[in-house]
Amino acid sequence: MRLPSSTIIQLLLQILLVCLLQRPSFAVKKSYVVYLGAHSHGPALSSSFVDFNQVTQSHYEFLESYLGSHNTAKDSIFYSYTRHINGFAATLEEEVAAEIAKHPKVLSVFKNSGRKLHTTRSWEFMGLEHKGIIPSTSIWKKARFGEGVIIGNLDTGVWPESNSFSEEGLGPIPSKWRGICDNGVDHTFRCNRKLIGARYFNKGYASAAGPLDSSFESPRDKEGHGSHTLSTAAGNAVPGVSVFGQGFGTAKGGAPKARVAAYKVCWPPVAGDECFDADILAAFDEAIHDGVDVLSVSLGGSASSLLNDSVAIGSFHAAKQGIVVVCSAGNSGPADATVENLAPWHLTVAASTMDREFPAYVVLGDDITFKGESLSAARLEQKLYPIIKATDGKLGSARTEDAVLCQNGTLDPKKVREKIVVCLRGINARVDKGEQALLAGAVGMVLANDRASGNEIIADPHVLPASHINFTDGTSVFNYINSTKFPVAYITHPKTQLGTKPAPSMAAFSSKGPNIVVPEILKPDVTAPGVSVIAAYTEAQGPTNQVFDKRRIPYNSLSGTSMSCPHVSAIVALLRASYPSWSPAAIKSAIMTTATTLDNEVEPLLNATDDMSTPFGYGAGHVQPNIAMDPGLVYDTTIGDYLNFLCALGYNETQISVFTEGSSYVCRKKFSLLNLNYPSITVPNLSDSVTVTRTLKNVGSPRTYIAHVQNPNGITVSVKPSILKFRNVGEEKRFKVTFKIMKGKATNNYVFGKLIWSDGIHYVRSPIVVKALTSRN
């Protein structure tokens, strides 16, 4: 039967309309995080009465109102944050993301950006067993070695077969634990009473990397970083550990009886990025719900506003639930204003050296010897070998600026075979330089620091005999080669040396302040050991993580603020076990106010160029766990204080109410960022004078404390009252600190001082950081 022409036209128009509605969009879509604040689950969250699917449906409906289709909204969302963090991650067009950001109940919309692990091998490349950081036996016993505390780790997962995660000697899993062991497709991955949980998050990573194969469906650590950090924080005591015979002893985490959970959020690099915001938020949301007490986060990214920062958002929600979050400061030093993880509600850790070295000497033909460090397994025959600069051994097609660094494919085997090659530090990984030398036929490598790296030398498990020497010594080696007709050298096999002095000193790679997002908050907060730290490792890769390296070892030495972070996570766990009622802020204060700015020669902490370091490098100082267990006083901070802090940053009451689980919030008028009850005091723009307030809480016996001030250059500091008498535990006293510019003596540079409250037994220290506006003097 022939259809009327009008009917045919109608059908064609309908088909055309459907095609137009379903036509593929040529606008570029990217993945975004839409952050909506907190949920209003209330007490029901701890029961089974919350329907998380209903929360997800509400996210679909919200996005549907912008996309016009429920199915399209459902397909676009790849994470729905349903427990503590309210929001979702979705693939959106830029215009849609911009429209969503205008919604009054939306706190932020930001791109699902990538972040990096904070081990130095990631950018250019067992922790507590040494003086100055190892807790005393009495402290460990008081804290029950961290028994009952659960440490979560956002990282590359864990190698569950490591002896550091054995369940031997441990009792039942704490009843508060609600987590799971999600092993994905890896049926050999098993949790136990030590490693009580594991999860993996890769959807944010997949949005950048593209479709993933089944090998990504596992929390197993195939990189080594996650196993290293987690065992540093809470690994069992494992005797007989070494790295190729060096550092022999018992590997032990700082809280060896704590239980651990691994949250894998980091994967092989995509354009240099390993850990993506959407995955990080998903891990925070699950970890908080699982019941962790401490979260160790050894990763970070470029500084951004706090509510566009997945770590800042996640750690805020963790702090609301009494969870202490410890973060690494970053490895972009020694330049100023490079520190990452800048929120006041988490603890940010810089990296410094320890009193243990692995010396490997470079002996030149003129009998001059230079002390370097290495963990090379291979050794040279005891004879002199020709030594050559990498630039003299380069291929004709290679650029000099690449060859000096021993970058891939720059060395000529005809020129370097059977010789020791001198490579300059920088750009490519330290261990990669050794690999390039070995592939070209060299017998050894001298790794010489550039000027920026100064005296910082790091022991790496190189694939050939090698020694890493400082800048001054490197210059001497270059001069020797340049001035000698037939230069020769020898590299000794490394040894282990304990009790070295001076130590600690700041690592050159450790990122530094000031805080570029909120200058009124000093970051980093403290420093801890982060150079040549020995801890558990993956056996899926060699110790250098290079394809060429077929060696496998259960423990390895790594450096970075990634390594210093779990040291502090361990101290947090010990404090949590000792004082379960303390707030995250109180624990943070105890660690900061008891830190030291002196080394083991009772001299000021130095940086890698032997200059005095400052609070921009070490924050409040180097952690001292024994003293932190009895701080005397603490600067406590409530979630309400943090909400007022956000108000002062410019967020309105409607936005802040989203944080308070639906209840309205009234911002405290005239709240100054300077007055957040932080354990350090920073005044970034002092004009004439300003007064800030702080409140101290007594957590010890009744005592009277007197204020002592070390004035910053050109600034006078006065404290009122200068005497505080505490009669009861938990009693709080408020005081004011007034800063005034000394006319004609102040400069427009940052200057540093210190406020110390002491009762003769306790010394409650706060760094002071001030920058004067001298134009108004």
Residues 126, 693: Cα–Cα separation, whole Å:
41
> From CA 349, how far away is CA 326, in angstroms rounded?
7
Beta bridge partners of 556: 535
- Burial of 53 by CB count in 10 Å (0-12 exposed, 13-18 middle, 19+ buried)? exposed
CA distances from 685 to 520, 525, 678 (A): 9, 20, 18
Is there a contact between 770 and 739 (Cβ–Cβ < 8 Å)?
yes
Q: Give Cβ neighbours of residue 460 (< 8 Å, ≥ 6 apart).
A: 125, 374, 375, 430, 431, 434, 466, 468, 544, 557
Q: How far apart are CA 158 and CA 182, in angstroms?
A: 12
The amino acid present at 246, given as its one-letter code, is Q
Determine which helix (DSSP H) or strand (DSSP E) holds 231, and give its type and residue range. Answer: helix 225-234
Task: Calculate helix-pair angle for 94-101, 52-67, nearest 10 degrees.
Answer: 110
Buried b (16+ CB within 10 A) or exposed e, 246-276: bbebebbbbbbbbbbbbbbbbbeeeeebbbb
User: Which of these is catalytic: 155, 182, 277, 290?
Assistant: 155
531 token code pair: 């150079």
Residue 76, judged by CB atoms within 10 A of its CB (0-12, 13-18, 19+), counts as buried
List Cα–Cα distances, 59 to 56, 62, 86, 552, 664, in angstroms: 5, 5, 9, 46, 22
Asked if 524 contacts 516 with a C-beta cutoff of 8 angstroms, the reply is no
Q: Cα separation of 181 and 157, whole Å?
A: 12
- Catalytic residue (choose from 225, 346, 567, 762): 225
Looking at 376, 562, 613, 657, which residue is catalytic?
A: 562
Among candidates 30, 134, 88, which has minimal Cα distance to 574? 134
Query: Per-residue b/e over 500-531, b at no fewer than 16 CB within 10 Å?
Result: eebbbbbbbbbbbbbbebbbbbbbbbbbbbbb
Which is nearest to 693 in space by CA: 736, 632, 633, 645? 736
**Cα angle, residue 551 at apex, residues 545 and 556 outer, rounded to 5°:** 60
Bridge partners of residue 394, in order along the sequence:
411
Alpha-carbon span 386 to 722, nearest angstrom: 67
Q: Report the alpha-carbon distance of residue 142 to residue 285 in Å, rounded.
A: 31
CA–CA distance, 542 with 497 (Å, rounded to integer): 25
Strands 526-529 and 347-352: parallel
In three-state secondary structure terms, 543 is coil
Neighbour tally for 440: CB within 10 Å: 23
Calculate the CA 497 to chain-centre distance. Answer: 28
Give the pairing of strands 114-117 and 246-251: unpaired
CB under 8 Å to 745, separation ≥6 — which residues? 713, 714
Closest CA to 338 of 506, 518, 515: 515
310-320 vs 639-648: helix crossing angle, rounded to 10: 140
Q: Are strands 29-38 and 85-93 parallel, antiparallel or unpaired?
A: antiparallel
Place of tokens 């692990």: 117
Alpha helices in 68-120 (DSSP H): 70-76, 94-101
Concerning whether 562 is annotated as a catalytic residue, the answer is yes
Please list the active-site residues: 155, 225, 562
